[in-house]
Amino acid sequence: MPYPNINAERVRNGLTMEDMAARLGVTRKTIYNWMAHGKIPQSKLKLMSEMFHCSADYLLKTDVTT
């Protein structure tokens, strides 16, 4: 997955992929496609940011060592 922070926040919040998809109003397959292809719609990224109480920049960060 190109966005490890999104997955980490999902797990930290006790959500399955299905739970996250339902909260975002999409299917689980859509979430997988976003993660695989790196094309998350801005509106959904904003919802994720609000859902996880963090910035979109944090969610999109790909280098987890810094």
Q: How many residues does the chain have?
A: 66
What is the number of alpha carbons within 13 Å of residue 13 lying toward its C-beta?
A: 19
pTM of the model: 0.84
Q: Tally DSSP H helices, then E strands, for the chain.
A: 5, 0
Q: Which domains does the chain have, with CATH numbers?
A: 4-60 (1.10.260.40)
Q: How far are the Cα atoms of 27, 39, 40 from residue 22, in angstroms, in the given order?
A: 7, 18, 16
pLDDT in tens, 22-62: 999 999 999 999 988 888 999 999 999 999 999 999 999 87
* Cα gap 15→8, rounded to integer Å: 10
**60: exposed, middle or buried (Cβ count in 10 Å: 0-12, 13-18, 19+):** middle
